[in-house]
Amino acid sequence: MFGFFAIIGFVLAGFLEKKLSYSWSWMVSLGVALISSFLLYASGLSQTAVTWLEVPVGGVASAFSSITGEPLTPMVLMGVITTGAVLVTVFDLWMDHTYNPKARAALIVAPITAHGAGGWVGEFVAGIHGTGADIAMSLTANMFG
């Protein structure tokens, strides 16, 4: 259910970004997108997606390990991807307050890869998304029954 709400929320945020023309309208679309990102983290959809991502990420990690002789686990690579997505989200929204394609991609990638990330980065992003997911789930769980 939360994956469905996340997809609808991302579509709604993109629609609102295009249609609202007030100076504060970016806050509305960004708020909807953040709630959608939190719902995506809470959904089974993101856990299924991270399972799918483990295959190509594992392949890249294995190839890197084979070429360099340096061990690299998929968990570390997922942590790097998660960190990149969070940094893109923060700095892109800091410089450009609109819900643009970079922010959209980062808000979708971060909650998915956070499930596969390890270390304190994974814990930190999971804590932020977990808290946000609790709030978003309480807002949407009773909305439609």
Question: Mean pLDDT in runs of 10 for the chain (145 residues)?
Answer: 87 84 78 89 88 90 90 88 88 76 86 87 84 83 71
- What is the pLDDT at residue 52? 92
Q: Is residue 27 one of the residues assigned to a domain?
A: yes
Distance CA 101, CA 121 (A): 24
Q: Is residue 51 one of the residues assigned to a domain?
A: yes
Q: Is residue 145 one of the residues assigned to a domain?
A: no
Q: Is residue 52 one of the residues assigned to a domain?
A: yes
Would you state the structure tokens that stand for residue 16, as one six-digit string?
A: 């609102």
* Helix (H) or strand (E) segment spanning residue 21: none
pTM: 0.83
CA 144 from centroid of its chain's CA atoms: 24
- What is the pLDDT at residue 63? 92
**Number of domains composing the chain:** 1
Q: Which structural domain range is residue 116 located in?
A: 2-140
Structure-token match 């993101």, residue found = 46
